[in-house]
Structure 1
Amino acid sequence: MISDRKLEHLLLCTHSDVEYHKKTGFKDVELVHKALPEVNQEEIDLSTSLLGKKMDSPIIITAITGGHPSSVEVNQKLARVAEKLNIGLGLGSQRAAVENPELASTYTIAREEAPEALLIGNIGAPQMEQAHEAGEMMDLDALAIHLNPLQEAIQPEGDVDTRGYLENIQKTVEEMNIPVIAKETGAGISGNDALSLEKAGVQAIDVAGAGGTSWAAVETYRSQDKTMGELYWDWGIPTAASTVEVSQSVQIPIISSGGIRNGLEAVKALALGADAVGMALPVLKASYLGEEALFKFFSRFLEEIKVAMFLVGAGNLKELQKTDLVIQGKTREWLQERGYNTKIYARRSSL
């Protein structure tokens, strides 16, 4: 049953080692320190707008859960925090509720608790025919179509026929009356694919790069034969590299997610061109400690963002994307071999 699989995924993500062994690439990104910031840290403005929705900070709790009765409480906590902080919230795949309406409350609780927050629905690329029903389930601000070929290839019951996905995405965009986001699930999106998705009409891209939760790892725990999942555990485009590739390839908003674990990494992602950053696993784990723990987590995270912005002299997000940074190591090697310009970030503040 899909509902049982949702619970299994939730438990595995919470209690097992499911993260990439290789890193996001953000350690290769060095922000250039400013000894004369000319900024008041207490007045730094993190507000932004994404898909027409104003947010107090560029943070999205990305797709985590829904589809099993036990996930109601989790989504309730996440929604309350998203509403109070005025940040975004993404739901897990709504397929379970489309196929079993009795499970709809595990998702709709999010809008009930967060009437004003940016709320992003979710349906898998193999189930795009369910997009309309997912969009009608509640008052969504956008619908994410998640791309998970790695997970599908590893899981025993995976759908590995991806022919026609791009054409179906274009049709879905045309049929939906809310913005459509294309979202990977942890293996990253290349600049080439991002351009194809933009041409297909999607209004935003969540790169969801390699470095956070590995769905090959999750499926390794579920499979009797561990060899395939272990082999592809670290497959994917590192988040930092994916963020650069996509930001240099398209004009639509970009969400950078995949292993972002602190405010400094978030600032690096935003400085590389992301319009917002997303997190799932650390937020999920904090939610099990209660709402107070969630608020403490985000309070610390936001403070870390402001410290980094202060140290590069950025009073707001627009100014942050004009500050200097240097891309080094394997990330620079990746990007340069792929034909992306890594030098444009180093002295852009003087342009």
Structure 2
Amino acid sequence: MAEEGINRRKTEHIRICLTDHVEGVNKSTGLEGISFIHNALPEINFHDISLETSFLNKSLHAPFLVSSMTGGSELAEKINQNLALAAEQRRWAIALGSTRAILEGDKHQDSFLIRKQAPTVPLIANLGAVQLNYGYGVEEAQKLVDLTEADSLYLHLNSLQEIIQDEGDLNFEDLLPKIEEVCRKLSVPVGVKEVGFGIDGTVSRKLYDAGVSYIDVAGAGGTSWSQVEKLRSKDPLRKAAAEAFNNWGIPTKDCIVSVRSNIADVPIVASGGMKTGLDAAKAITIGADMIGFARSLLQAATESAEEVNRVMEQIEFEMKITMFGIGAKDLNELKNTNRVEIMGRSLLTDQ
């Protein structure tokens, strides 16, 4: 029964994200407050622009990640295989949705076992950190890594989602020492991500000191999982209460700035409302290292790997156009550009 419940929930999540309005009301990523200053004389050849980088000790064609979305249902199997095929072709990293279902039954395991479709790019397994208070530990985390052949494990933080979810797990007490133990004993690096409400610098410092290798801020401005759970809830109390949290969360821009100001050298994955290559370029100029895309790829993933590839190619092209527009030939030059305005304040001093 528990397995059937997870499988059904995963299918409901996908269908709601595809068909309903699930973004927070009047909540944006904050990236609209960043703009670039056009360089009329870029002095570079567009065809020489490089997005190449590395993540989890593997080379990538671009600093992009297919963010955690789904797994554990028939529809998720098709989606994840299409995402994996496209990620391998374009050399993007890819993260699985919560892989707990793979330990609780063998139904739809193939929705998580995508290494054969993505044999060489970074692959990240995923477990809710709260499960460390419900019988899961290093042994189960290692089993997830081994089953999926993952290069890393995400522990996701989703307290607001869990409280609105009818089946939610609500004991988030004393998780940090348990996260530290997983970081210390797991055979692969551990990253921590939110699910759309954001991680600030104070929390990221605690996680980094506990041994977390990278932070995925997953800020507000994209999918709101309190809204997703509201739409599938059968509990009138939860449905009504969720309305008060339409505007909850830390915008993605503020998360990046806060984390980077607290920790100079932690790799930051910027996800949460990322839609275009222009968004990605903005996030990198304020401190991000990798950019995660989720719902912007979801519809394409229900169709074919070719359609996902087309969307990915457009995102890459948009980022290269941005770099051409400011005269940045690689990611290092983009990170260090002064051709940017943040909240109306120009960093360009030699106009």
What TM-score comes out, normalization by structure 1 length? 0.92
Correspondence for 2:105:
100
- Residue 155 of structure 1: CA displacement? 1.3
CA distance in 1, matches of 2:173, 2:273: 29
SS state of the match for residue 54, structure 2?
Answer: strand
Could you list the per-position Cα deviations for residues 112-145 of structure 1 after superposition, in whole angstroms to 9, with x for gaps in the alignment? 1110011111000112323222112121111100
Q: Does 1:237 align with 2:237?
A: no
Residue of structure 2 aligned with 1:77, choices 82, 85, 102: 82
Q: Does 1:267 align with 2:281?
A: yes
- Residue 348 of structure 1: CA displacement? 8.9
- Residue 346 of structure 1: CA displacement? 2.0
CA distance in 2, matches of 1:46, 1:188: 26
Could you list the per-position Cα deviations for residues 239-289 of structure 1 after superposition, in whole angstroms to 9, with x for gaps in the alignment? 111111112222211100100111111100111111110011110111123
SS state of the match for residue 101, structure 1?
Answer: coil
Correspondence for 1:214:
224
Amino acid at match of 2:233: S
Residue of structure 2 aligned with 1:140, choices 147, 150, 170: 150
Sequence identity of aligned pairs in percent?
39
Residue of structure 2 aligned with 1:4, choices 5, 8, 21: 8
SS state of the match for residue 111, structure 1?
Answer: coil
CA distance in 1, matches of 2:49, 2:261: 27
Q: Does 1:188 align with 2:198?
A: yes
1:37-52 residue pairs with structure 2 within 5 A?
37-52=42-57
CA distance in 2, matches of 1:102, 1:296: 31
Over 3 Å off, 4+ runs:
347-350
Superposition CA RMSD, Å: 1.7
CA distance in 2, matches of 1:314, 1:326: 16
Residue of structure 2 aligned with 1:173, choices 178, 183, 194: 183
SS state of the match for residue 45, structure 1?
Answer: coil
Change (3 A) 1:14 1:86: same
Residue of structure 2 aligned with 1:155, choices 155, 161, 165: 165
- Residue 156 of structure 1: CA displacement? 2.1
Residue of structure 1 aligned with 2:117, choices 113, 117, 123: 113
Correspondence for 2:23:
19
SS state of the match for residue 248, structure 1?
Answer: helix
SS state of the match for residue 296, structure 2?
Answer: helix
CA distance in 2, matches of 1:235, 1:202: 25
Correspondence for 2:343:
328
Conservation of the 8 A alpha-carbon contact between 2:71 and 2:77: yes
What TM-score comes out, normalization by structure 2 length? 0.92
Residue of structure 2 aligned with 1:53, choices 53, 58, 65: 58
Correspondence for 1:63:
68
Conservation of the 8 A alpha-carbon contact between 1:322 and 1:349: no
- Residue 349 of structure 1: CA displacement? 9.6
Correspondence for 2:266:
252
Correspondence for 1:284:
298
Q: Does 1:303 align with 2:337?
A: no
Residue of structure 2 aligned with 1:314, choices 328, 333, 339: 328
CA distance in 1, matches of 2:201, 2:253: 12
Change (3 A) 1:349 1:94: farther
CA distance in 1, matches of 2:227, 2:63: 29
CA distance in 2, matches of 1:89, 1:145: 15
CA distance in 2, matches of 1:152, 1:119: 25
Alignment coverage as a number of residue pairs:
335
Could you list the per-position Cα deviations for residues 181-229 of structure 1 after superposition, in whole angstroms to 9, with x for gaps in the alignment? 1011000100101111110111111000001110011011012322111
Amino acid at match of 2:17: C
- Residue 164 of structure 1: CA displacement? 1.2
Change (3 A) 1:174 1:19: same
Amino acid at match of 1:62: S
Q: In structure 2, list runs of 5 or more residues that go unmatched.
A: none
Q: Please identify, of 131-140 and 118-127, the stretch whose mean Cα deviation from structure 2 is larger.
A: 131-140
SS state of the match for residue 243, structure 2?
Answer: helix
Amino acid at match of 1:126: V
Q: In structure 1, list runs of 5 or more residues that go unmatched.
A: 330-342
Amino acid at match of 1:81: A
